[in-house]
Amino acid sequence: HLQDYKAANMHCQELMASGYSESWEVCSQLGQSEGYQDMAVRQELIAYALTHCPPSALKSLLTASNALRTEILYHAVSYEMHPSEKEESRPPLASKTESALEVDSSIPSRQSADLLLWTTAKTMKVLSDTTLTTKAMLHAVSDGKWWKKSLTYLRPLHGQEFGDVLKTTIGTNTAIEKQGCHTFYESLIDDPYLANNEVTYTTYQHTPLESFAEVLLRTGKLAETKSEGHDQFPATEVLLQLACEALPNDITLSLAYLLALPQVVDANKCFEKQPPSALSLQLASYYYSLQIYARLAPCFKDKCHPLYRADPRELIQLVTEHVTRTSYADWPDEIATLIKHLQYYNERLLDFTQAQILQGLGKGVDVQRFTADGQYKRETILGLAETLEENVYKIALSLAQRYSIPLWEVYMTHLEFLFSDSGLSTSAIEERAQSLGLFETLKTVPDAFHERMVKYVYPTIEGRDHRRLLYYFMLLDNCSCPEFVKHVIKPEIHIHLLKKFKAVAPGLDYKKLTERNVNPLEALDPVLTSQNILSISKLASKIPEKDGRMLAASSVYAVWLKKLFWNGDPHLIKKVPETIPEWLHAYDICAKYFDRLSPGDIMEFMDEITFSSKAVIKLSVDARIEMTKKAIKSVKHIAEKARKKASRGDDAEGVTTRHLTEEDALSHLQQSFAHLETLSHSFISYLKNSDQTILQEYGHLYDLSRSEKEKISEQAVTMCIDGQPLNMIQKLLEVAVGDLGLSSRDVVQKAVTKVVEALSGDCGEFSFKKDPLQILEGIVSAVHTSAENGENLVSSDDLLAWLRPFCGNDALPVKPRIQVLQILEQAFHLRDEDSKLLVLFRTQAVLKACWPQIQVEITDIENEEKRYTLFLQLLDSSESHEEFQHLVMLLQAWPPMKSVNITCAHNDPWVKLGSAMLAKSLPEHKENMGNEILKICRSLYGTKHMLSVECIKDLCLQLLNQSLLLPSLKLLVESGDQDLHALALEQITAAAKVDDTNCDSELLSLLLDEKLVVKCVSTVLYSHLVHHLLATQEEGRWSIEEIAKQLQEGGCGAEAGSLLMAYRGTHPALRTFGAALSAVKHWI
């Protein structure tokens, strides 16, 4: 009877509250009553009985307590694994235990249940099968007072609900940055982590808070005890789970769980799940140190080994040092495996510690990546070497040594940083490099040092920073690595040059001076003055030119003299010349240095001051002539002195190596003088004084040409391409000095060649501003005009000969070849043989593109009948749109056929082509084909191939037969023929409605153009005509008043009036018949 149990429990509670010890037996009887389902109360009663019973009753009570605990745990585990069971089927377990398990099972992903599924199944089997009784679990405890006191002592509680505790631990100490411990041990640990659930205390009643893993472990162990060890509980997964859960809150408890693992290395599963922190990594090292030490020096089971009292850091250090001194081969396999794990976690701990130091530097180091990524680690350490902070630099050196990064790499990186990003002066860089002893290490690998300096340091140095460049080359020179220097200038030469330039030309861009593929004279030009020209010219022999040869002093003087002439000098020419006398005076100053110039440099200097664009603008022709005369005189004098020295055997140094002699220079100057005199020629004056910009440009180009053959030829070709008359080109060639070996024919041939190259798709370096065909047309026109004027400079035969290869080249597109032939045909009255040849070229060009298998000769197309036969043959074999298009091109390329038998409507080739296109097109393509025929007919308007009225009518009738009304109407209307108009109106009148097949805006515009509005009044198109007319009135294409007048004259007065009222904006309600008639009388 349930009510009896409750009454009995009430009395027992009163007895227990009063502390009556003799009531233990009654409490024991009620606690062991299996009919009483409140197992939590039963457990409490048995606990009281155990506290107050005599020693002789301990065994039986412990057995009963153990069985009751096993039953409670069994039901708890069973409900956790099968939570769908009904509430009524569960026994009334302790409410706090149930609550704890329920909340625990609600943790996301049900981690505990999933992890322990198979171990739970094993435990359930043990609990279901065992019938053994419990053996003694504890030694006899004779002191009953101790038991009473221990149960009533204050004990820490976990809180009211286990789920609340779990929620508070989420996100707290998850990184394991502090050592978690029980509150009792708080004073023994520096800055510990105390979980919130460890700080609440109460008296008398203790409700143990257990996770699913703890419940499962206790259940399994109880079952194992009951089976007397026959059924071993597989505790590995449970212990790992408990260790992971306990680690953030109680690291000692977590270690205890790990030490209880059957297999030592299984602890790795726990350690690898933890976030990398100093504490978690040190715990792993401590764990393996304990295991190694315990195996090397086993402890006695009845004593506590001093190993567990030792300082963890000292133990780790002791074990690590011991195993490091001996190789793996000397250890058993089990211990060797443990040593590998120990060293692995020691390495990770050291990496992590170093990374924490790096992170503390505030340099943006990713600690976890530094620990795991070797390449990132190397780059980070070398990056730290790029600093002026001593502590950071020392850390970089320490890390490099720790991770076996060569000291050479660190020093080289630091040196590169000093040059590029340190912001230090050169003297400061030199001082720091010396104080750190960088160079002593760097010069041990000279090839790598030279490579890194050239690749990373040299580009960072500014070309005008001579001090830093000097230090750079001194480092290379001290490296003793001449075999690695690939540049023409060796480091010692650089040092010599820099020391000189630093004194005489501080603004010189030295890097530009010595850079490959750069003219060194361009770098010297800005810094040359009358004060340093002598010093720099002496250094010229050490400076390489682009071709690898050394610079000549003469070239340096030549550059300086140009600058002196145009810009003056504070000491020689204090004012920039402006007047002619001043320019002549400037020349005289420069001429004093001619004896230091080679003949070639004299020529270059004179060309600069007489035939440059600047000279043409600033100097008069007379001044240029005068300077050239003086130069001729000076060169003759220099040549005379050279001959005298040569006769005495005292030849000037370097004269024998000169490529140009004084005679060459004299000849050059004499031609310059002769050319300058031609500038007064009437033709050149005409060009320069012309109102046309292009003719002025011709005059300017001729002035600069010096009558050199290449320049004159280029100018003449340009004039030809521009379409200038051939007689103008001939005059240019006649005025130029000397025998150039050029004729107008040569010029035109070169121009035609350029055009042909452009048409062939190979423009080269020459580009046209206009379409090449337009240029060719201009050339042909100029040749035609010249031939008509009887100048006999270039003939049509010449043009045909130059263009024939292009027209006969089968690899080129057909269209431009035909266009070229048409240009020739339009310009010249060709002989019969040439005309046949042109027809042959055209025919071959079209055939090669679409019918390459058909070969024709001139005899196959020499008359209309043969051409017509060939056309019919091709038409019969044609099926595709591309073939029909080439037939159109073929008919256009041929002369119009004039034979009566051929030109009649049913035999006309154009009509036959249209008929074939319609007949061979698919039904779904009929409409497109009709529009294509319309385009072909329109392309013939205004040409010699324009179709006759009969042919147009025939084509239109064929279009009508194919129900292609719209293109047929357009052809009929735009023909301008009255009969065809009548045919069109007949078709329009027959139309019952307007749709896309018989009307569009283009047809309406054509009807308006042909003044057919009056004849369309009675058709369905009229309203559309009026609407189209009013909608397009802003274009001004048609006059509405004029059309209204036509309507009135045609007897359509009402329509005319209605049109005018709509045009003038009259409201539709007012457009009555009478109003329309009145409007006609009023407005017309």
Burial of 553 (0-12, 13-18, 19+ CB in 10 A): buried
Q: Which one has a higher pLDDT value, 911 or 202? A: 911
**The tokens of 400 are what?**
């490099």
Global pTM reads: 0.55
- In this structure, of 7-16, 279-288, 377-386, 798-807, the range with the lowest mean pLDDT score is 798-807
- In this structure, of 567-571, 668-672, 900-904, the range with the lowest mean pLDDT score is 900-904
Q: How far apart are CA 385 and CA 379, in angstroms?
A: 10
The torsion defined by the Cα of 965, 971, 975 and 980, in degrees rounded to 10, comes to -30
Q: How far apart are CA 166 and CA 896, in angstroms?
A: 102
Q: Is the pLDDT of residue 15 over 60?
A: yes
Residue 655 DSSP class: G
Q: How many Cβ atoms from other residues are within 10 Å of residue 223's Cβ?
A: 24
Q: Which one has a higher pLDDT value, 721 or 656? A: 721
Angle at 798 between CA 797 and CA 800, to 5 degrees: 65
Q: Identify the CA nearest to 77 among candidates 104, 44, 58.
A: 104
* Percent of the chain at pLDDT exceeding 70: 81
Q: How far apart are CA 858 and CA 861, in angstroms?
A: 6
Q: Identify the CA nearest to 726 among candidates 683, 789, 671, 664.
A: 789
- In this structure, of 434-438, 914-918, 1030-1034, the range with the lowest mean pLDDT score is 1030-1034
* CA Rg value for the chain: 56
Q: How far apart are CA 119 and CA 234, in angstroms?
A: 6
Q: How far apart are CA 26 and CA 10, in angstroms?
A: 12
Q: Which one has a higher pLDDT value, 843 or 144? A: 843
Residues ≥6 apart with Cβ < 8 Å to 155? 201, 202, 206
Q: Provide mean pLDDT across the span 504-508.
A: 88
pLDDT band at residue 196 under the 50/70/90 scheme: low
- Tell me how far apart the terminal alpha carbons of the chain are, to the nearest angstrom: 126
The torsion defined by the Cα of 424, 426, 431 and 437, in degrees rounded to 10, comes to 90
> Per-residue pLDDT tens for 609-634?
999 989 988 888 999 999 999 999 98
From the centroid of its chain, how far is CA 332?
A: 57
pLDDT at res. 276: 78
Q: Identify the CA nearest to 469 among candidates 486, 454, 447.
A: 454
pLDDT at res. 827: 76
> Per-residue pLDDT tens for 361-371?
766 777 777 77
Q: How far apart are CA 833 and CA 691, in angstroms?
A: 45
Q: Which one has a higher pLDDT value, 413 or 64? A: 413
Three-state DSSP state, 180:
strand
Residue type, 17: A
Four-residue CA torsion sign, 820, 823, 824, 825? positive
Q: Identify the CA nearest to 339 among candidates 325, 312, 352, 320.
A: 320
Q: Is the pLDDT of residue 76 over 80?
A: no
pLDDT at res. 1078: 67
Residues ≥6 apart with Cβ < 8 Å to 757? 763, 764, 766
What is Dmax (Cα atoms) for the chain? 155
CA distances from 560 to 531, 534, 567, 630 (A): 11, 11, 10, 20
Q: Is the pLDDT of residue 953 over 80?
A: yes
The torsion defined by the Cα of 959, 960, 965 and 970, in degrees rounded to 10, comes to 60
The answer to whether residues 1076 and 1061 touch, using CB atoms and an 8 Å cutoff, is yes
- In this structure, of 206-220, 351-365, 480-494, 549-563, the range with the lowest mean pLDDT score is 206-220
Q: How far apart are CA 1021 and CA 993, in angstroms?
A: 8
CA distances from 831 to 121, 204, 796, 944 (A): 112, 134, 10, 20
Three-state DSSP state, 201:
strand
Task: Convert 157-185 to b/e letters by CB count within 10 Å (16 or more is b).
Answer: bbbeebbebbeebeeebeebebbbbeeee
DSSP track, 773-814:
HHHHHHHHHHHHHHHHTT--SS-HHHHHHHHHHHHT-TTS-H
The chain-wide mean pLDDT, for the chain, equals: 79
pLDDT band at residue 408 under the 50/70/90 scheme: very high
Q: How many Cβ atoms from other residues are within 10 Å of residue 293's Cβ?
A: 19
The answer to whether residues 542 and 489 touch, using CB atoms and an 8 Å cutoff, is yes
The answer to whether residues 149 and 204 touch, using CB atoms and an 8 Å cutoff, is no
Q: How many Cβ atoms from other residues are within 10 Å of residue 1039's Cβ?
A: 11
Q: Which one has a higher pLDDT value, 571 or 49? A: 49
Q: Identify the CA nearest to 100 among candidates 201, 210, 249, 265.
A: 210
Residues ≥6 apart with Cβ < 8 Å to 537? 553, 556, 557, 596
Residue with tokens 């041929």: 894
pLDDT at res. 417: 92
The answer to whether residues 660 and 558 touch, using CB atoms and an 8 Å cutoff, is no
pLDDT band at residue 147 under the 50/70/90 scheme: very low
Q: Kindly report the backbone phi and psi dihedral angles of residue 550, in degrees, each rounded to the nearest multiple of 5, phi listed first.
A: -80, 150
pLDDT at res. 947: 87
Residue with tokens 């005679």: 663
pLDDT at res. 154: 23
Q: How far apart are CA 812 and CA 259, in angstroms?
A: 89
Q: How far apart are CA 766 and CA 757, in angstroms?
A: 10
pLDDT band at residue 716 under the 50/70/90 scheme: very high
From the centroid of its chain, how far is CA 627?
A: 59
Q: Kindly report the backbone phi and psi dihedral angles of residue 529, in degrees, each rounded to the nearest multiple of 5, phi listed first.
A: -140, 170
pLDDT at res. 100: 37
Residues ≥6 apart with Cβ < 8 Å to 444? 408
Q: Provide mean pLDDT across the span 573-583.
A: 86
Residue 948 DSSP class: P
Q: Provide mean pLDDT across the span 630-644.
A: 86
Q: Kindly report the backbone phi and psi dihedral angles of residue 1064, in degrees, each rounded to the nearest multiple of 5, phi listed first.
A: -90, 5
Q: Which helix (H) or strand (E) is 155 found in, with range?
A: strand 155-157
Three-state DSSP state, 177:
coil
**The tokens of 358 are what?**
């790096």
> Per-residue pLDDT tens for 686-706?
988 888 989 989 899 988 998
Three-state DSSP state, 408:
helix
| Helix locations, 236-366, DSSP H | 236-246, 251-259, 267-273, 278-296, 312-324, 333-360
The answer to whether residues 480 and 446 touch, using CB atoms and an 8 Å cutoff, is yes
Q: Is the pLDDT of residue 155 over 60?
A: no
Q: Which one has a higher pLDDT value, 158 or 40? A: 40
pLDDT at res. 150: 28
Q: Identify the CA nearest to 1062 among candidates 1047, 1044, 1045.
A: 1044
pLDDT at res. 227: 65
Burial of 209 (0-12, 13-18, 19+ CB in 10 A): buried
CA distances from 27 to 60, 920, 1054 (A): 14, 115, 127
Q: How far apart are CA 603 and CA 406, in angstroms?
A: 60
Helices 744-759 & 796-807, crossing angle to 10 degrees? Answer: 20
Residue 193 pairs with which residues in a beta bridge?
A: 180
Q: Is the pLDDT of residue 170 over 50?
A: no
**The tokens of 547 are what?**
């071709």
